[in-house]
Amino acid sequence: MQPTLNFRVKGGRKLTGEITVNSSKNGAVGLLCASLLNRGTTVLKNMPRIEEVHRIIEVLRSIGVEATWNDHTLTLVPPKTFSMQKMDIEAAEKTRSILMFVGSLIHSLPSMRIPQAGGCKLGSRTVRPHKYALKQFGVVIASGGDAWKVSHTKLHAADILMYESGDTATINAILAAAGIAGQSTIKYASANYQVQDVCQYLVSLGVKIDGIGTTTLTIRGKAGIKKNVSFELSEDPTDAMFFLAAAIVTRSSIVIKRIPIDFLELELYKLELMGFTYDVLRKYKGRNGYVNLVDIRTHASSLVGSPEKIYGRPYPGLNIDNLPFFAVIATQAKGTTLIHDWAYEGRALYFTEMNKLGAKAMLADPHRVFVEGKTPLKAADLTCPPALRPAAILLIAMLAAKGISTLRNIYSINRGYEGLAEKLQSLGASVEVFEG
């Protein structure tokens, strides 16, 4: 049993220096699941070594995949036959990403059982978009107590409409189409960053995909994919957003490198309208040749509350995972800001945990919260909520709160952030990890 880890934060300090954005959590888990489609060796570069990735790797190893780390490069060698009966159920139940195994494994197995998914506790996150999408390729998913029963008799290419433009459901549909010879079309697809990474990986395997980065994908799949490939992940916009928010609430000037700007430019624009100032220092392509990156320098800024509600949307809208960061930023913006988190039942409730740090966040309903600023923040002893981004914004608020705060049971943060305490320490923050 792993020990419980906690953060101790001495807040009220200015941040200084520079930080490099980490690679994408959601891209990493999507690619791990996509690698099951390839009967050759997959080498994934720039992989984050985070808890969510570790859980997926534990499951992969349990079903026979050979997974070997070399620093942040992961080599995956598939078995001749997947041993689904040996699946690490405990690890699988801790991550919702396990659902994306289905789109890949249907090309190797006529039937399987997949444990019902865990991950962030964010209300009623339905599996129906996955079922409806995969059904159109000939896949049947039925509930069987604590697992999903997946089966098919004959897979076929299809022109499908996504019931919901979700990232994982879209990836499942893409993986299903990629392994079927023939042309499929997916409409109302998510075009988010992790979906684009999975598409680019499949292209490297020889799958032809038109429309990457749009909501309509045309996929000419291949049966029996077997190719040795090397692929590099893109950077994580939500990691970049964490450090943007930390700089804003602490009124700090720092340099943030390798920001994937196509997936953060709307967030930056809305922040500009609230009074945030920054300089773009450099524009360039990522190491994978397709992601667009920038380096920026933040400036201490006087913010005002947004005159319009702030809400998330599928890409190219404001990223739903970046929405919680606006809640903590709003505590330091003069006026009242309405945060509308329509996608998840109850996530907005977690935003009111900031009130224990001196914030003034009033819950209107399970999806909407009014945040009044500018409010001085104070130290407190809190426990992480069981959701990644709401936990992260409490840590950011603690960085701005004068005094010593404690954030307990940080597993939900470690699911998505690698070496976060060390990164914050490199910027001059006082953050230490302790057990107990």
Same domain? For 405 and 337 the reply is yes
State which H helix or E strand residue 33 sits in.
helix 25-34
Per-residue pLDDT 10s for the chain (436 aa) are 678 999 999 999 999 999 999 999 999 999 999 999 999 999 999 999 999 999 999 999 999 999 999 999 999 999 999 999 999 999 998 888 899 999 999 999 999 999 886 544 434 456 889 999 999 999 999 887 788 899 999 999 999 999 999 999 999 999 999 999 999 999 999 999 999 999 999 999 999 999 999 999 999 999 999 999 999 999 999 999 999 999 999 999 999 999 999 999 999 999 999 999 999 999 999 999 999 999 999 999 999 999 999 999 999 999 999 999 999 999 999 999 999 999 887 788 899 999 999 999 999 999 999 999 999 999 999 999 988 999 999 999 999 999 999 999 999 999 999 999 999 999 999 999 999 8
Same domain? For 246 and 116 the reply is no
CATH number of the domain at 152, please.
Answer: 3.65.10.10
Sheet holding 216-221, edge to edge: 159-161, 182-187, 216-221, 208-210
Q: How many domains does the chain have?
A: 2
Same domain? For 69 and 188 the reply is yes
Q: What is the DSSP letter of 378?
A: B
Same domain? For 254 and 184 the reply is no
Terminal C-alpha separation, the chain? 13
Same domain? For 197 and 313 the reply is no
- Residue located via tokens 């107990």: 436
Tell me the DSSP string of 188-246. S----HHHHHHHHHHHHTT-EEE-TTSSEEEEEE-SS----EEEEPPB-HHHHHHHHHH
Same domain? For 177 and 55 the reply is yes
Domain that holds residue 39: 25-232
Instruction: Say if residues 97 and 33 touch (Cβ distance below 8 Å).
Output: yes
Q: Is 70 left (phi over 0), alpha (psi -120 to 50) or beta?
A: beta
Three-state secondary structure call for residue 261 = helix
Which neighbouring-strand residues pair with 340?
A: 311, 368
Same domain? For 280 and 214 the reply is no
Same domain? For 144 and 267 the reply is no
Dist. CA 260–CA 425, nearest whole Å: 23
Same domain? For 209 and 259 the reply is no
- Domain boundary among the residues 213, 232, 251 is at 232
Three-state secondary structure call for residue 159 = strand
Same domain? For 167 and 269 the reply is no
Q: Residue type for 268, please? A: L
Same domain? For 245 and 278 the reply is yes
- Domain boundary among the residues 232, 248, 273 is at 232
Q: What is the pTM assigned to this prediction?
A: 0.95
